[in-house]
Amino acid sequence: MSELSDLYQEVILDHNKSPRNFHKLEGATRTAEGYNPLCGDKVTVYIKLEGGVIKEISFEGSGCAISKASASMMTDSLKGKTLAEAEGLFEAVHKMLKGEMDSDADLLGIGKLAVLSGVCNFPARVKCASLSWHTFRAALQGGGGMTSTE
C-alpha cells in the first residue's frame, strides 16, 4: 500500500511552506504559464537564459503542496544548468513520476528531486508534480502561451 508519508516527505512539506525562488523574475528572457484545469493549480515560470545556460529561474503561482514543492525544487535544481542538462533532467523526472525508473541508480542521477518519487503511487497527483516541468519546457520552447496538463 502506498503510504502518505512517502508522498508528503519532510522535504516536500518544507518546500511547500517556504518555496524557493518564489517570485517574479525581472529581466526574464523566457516565461510561460501553466495551468491544471482539474484542480485549478496555476504556475508561471520565469527563466533568464545566458549563452545556453539557465542563469536564473523562478516561479509564481498557487497550487497544492505537491505542485508547489515540485516547482520549488525544480527551480533549485535547474539553476546553472545548460539546456542539454535541463532536458536530461526533464526526461528523468518525467520517468520517475510515471514510475518508470529502472533502478535506484536512476534515482541517484536526479539528486534531491528523488523525494518526489512517491508521487507515482498517487496517480491523481502526478500532474500536480509535472505541471511546473511542463511549463518550464514550454517557456524554453517559446510562444509564451498557456500550458495545460489536460
Partner 1 sequence: MKPAHEVTDAKSWRGARSPLDVARIREDFPILKRQVHGKPLVYLDNAATGQKPQVVIDAVNRYYATENSNIHRGIHFLSEIATADYEESRAKVKRFLNASDTGEIIFVRGTTEGINLVAQSYGRRFVKQGDEILISAMEHHSNIVPWQILCEQVGARLRVVPMNHDGELLIEEYERLLNDRTKLVSVAHVSNALGTVNPVKQLVEMAHRRKIPVLLDGAQAAPHMKVDVQELGCDFYAFSGHKLFGPTGIGILYGKSKHLEAMPPYQGGGDMISLVTFEKTHYNILPYKFEAGTPHIAGGVGLGAAVDYLSGIGLEAVTAYEKELLAYATEALCTVQGLRIIGTAKEKAAVLSFVLDGVHPHDIGTVLDQEGVAIRAGHHCAMPVMQRFGVPATARASFAFYNTKEEVDVLVRAVHKVLKVFR
Closer to partner 1 by Cβ: residue 113 or 118:
118
As measured in angstroms, the least distance from the Cβ of 64 to partner 1 is: 4
The contact pattern for partner 1, residues 62-91, with x = CB under 8 A and - = no contact, is: xxxxx-x-----------------------
Phi, psi of 43 (to 5 degrees): -145, 140
CA 41 to chain centre: 13
**Rule CB under 8 A: is residue 108 a binding residue for partner 1?**
no
Q: Which stretch binds partner 1 (CB under 8 A): 8-16, 44-52, 109-117, 138-146?
A: 8-16
Spatial distance between the Cα atoms of 79 and 67, rounded to a whole number of angstroms:
18
Q: How many residues does the chain have?
A: 150
Closer to partner 1 by Cβ: residue 4 or 108:
4
Spatial distance between the Cα atoms of 8 and 129, rounded to a whole number of angstroms:
12
Task: Give the type of residue at 51.
Answer: G
Task: Give the type of residue at 146.
Answer: M
Task: Kindly list the residues in this chain that would bind partner 1 in the complex (CB under 8 A).
Answer: 1, 4, 7-8, 13, 16, 38-42, 62-66, 68, 122, 124-125, 128
